[in-house]
Amino acid sequence: MSHPRDVLLGAQASGVSLPVCDHYSGVEARMRKSLQLQAEMTQEFGTCVFDVTLDCEDGAPVGGEAEHAALVTELALSAAPEARVAVRVHPVDHPSFQADIATIAGKAANRLTHIMVPKVESVADVQLAEQALAQAGAKDLALHVLIESPAAVHRAFDIAAHPRVQSLSFGLMDFVSAHGGAIPAHGMGAQGQFTHPLVVRAKLEIASACHAHGKVPSHCVVTEFNDTAAMRAAAQRAAHEFGYTRMWSIHPAQIRPILEAMAPDAAAIEVASEIVLAARAAQWAPISHKGQLHDRASYRFFWQVLERAHSTGCSLPAEVQLFFKD
């Protein structure tokens, strides 16, 4: 019998699937702890529930960029085979960008899930990153990009359309700073970033651009990392109101609230399981479930619920778990 992934075709079904949490760290001790935590939680959940992105842009000391690039390369190469490790390099116009790519992608491309490029302003910047990867012998390595300015938001649809781009992230702090004080500091907070009109517009544009092209929208940071309630509320709003399917973590305490906020609840998993299994038994013809008609359009939605449940380590019925066996 055919697999749901093979049957439920379309832009949404054929898009990129990534863990819902992207955890950033740039200090050596924290990078090592992040990789260890990833291994522990992979064992706990039975799947890798967050990416670890080793940070060169904010992690490298000024004047020590080359040494930091060598360090993150070493960490990526020494990570467990099942680890999901990425690296954020410097922007394409930074003096260390080419060296970052040559060192990191040139030596560890086969161990990396992607390269994150910050401060992308246009498709031309994506093309520069693509060329640098090709020169480093990493022509197949995926690119994730950070949208951090009003001009970049304006070009988000074009950037998301580039075939090498897998995900767009929203850079909240730089976006607010780019407005020269026109957006108050409150717009960078856990609550204000969901109410200021310019910030809200940017979030929605990025999410819409991603969904239009089958890419993953990744939500920005919450700096109040000691406030678990604020973190959970922000993640829930990002997922349920703004269309984001992935979110940044900048502290280990933020990872589980992100997973919880972006995971479907038990009732949603139960309904999705019933409908997908019944649809498969009907060879994907329309069915009636509890008085409602369902066909491939709704099957696709409910299959996506099950994929998100799996990626966040939720418990699934045994028959559904078989869909995710290698």
**Binding site as annotated, residues for Mg(2+):** 148, 174
Distance of CA 294 to the CA centre of its chain: 30
Phi and psi (nearest 5°) for 283? 55, 40
| Distance from C-alpha of 114 to C-alpha of 54, rounded to nearest angstrom | 11
Binding residues: 88, 148, 174
DSSP E strands, 93-229: 112-117, 142-147, 165-170, 216-219
CA nearest 196: which of 217, 211, 182, 178? 182
Question: Cα torsion at 258, 108, 169, 12 (round to 10°)?
Answer: -80
Identity of the residue numbered 74? E
Is the distance from CB of 174 to CB of 153 less than 8 angstroms? Answer: no
- Region at 238 (left for phi over 0; alpha for psi -120 to 50; beta for the rest): alpha
Sequence-separated (6 or more) residues with CB below 8 Å from residue 244: 203, 207, 217, 218, 219, 238
| Distance from C-alpha of 161 to C-alpha of 260, rounded to nearest angstrom | 30
Burial readout 169-191 (b: 16 or more C-beta within 10 A, e: otherwise): bbbbebbbebeeeebeeebbbbe
Binding residues for substrate: 88, 148
